[in-house]
Amino acid sequence: EPGTMLYTSDGISLGADIGGLEQGLKRCCCAGESMFRLHLENRRASASVEDVGLATGGVEKVALTPSFPAKIVPIDLRQHNGLIFNRGAFLAALGKSWRVDIKMVNGGCTCCFAGQGLFMNTLHGDGMVFLNAGGTVMTKHLQPDERIVVDHHAVLAFERTVSMSIRQTGGCMVCCCAGQGLFNTELSGPGFVMVHSMSLSKLRSSVAPKDKSKAGGA
Q: What is the pLDDT of residues 62-118, one digit of tens each?
A: 899 888 888 899 999 999 999 999 888 889 998 888 888 888 777 776 767 666 767
- Give the three-state DSSP class for 51: helix
Angle at 93 between CA 92 and CA 99, to 5 degrees: 110
Contact indicator for 76, 146 with CB cutoff of 8 Å: no
Please report, rounded to a whole number, the percentage of residues in the chain having pLDDT higher than 70: 79
Q: Determine how β-strand 62-64 pairs with β-strand 5-8.
A: antiparallel
The answer on pLDDT for 209 being more than 50 is yes
8-27 residue pLDDT tens? 888 888 888 887 777 777 77
pLDDT of residue 73: 93
Predicted structure pTM score = 0.76
CB 194 within 8 A of CB 139: yes
d(CA 64, CA 211): 35
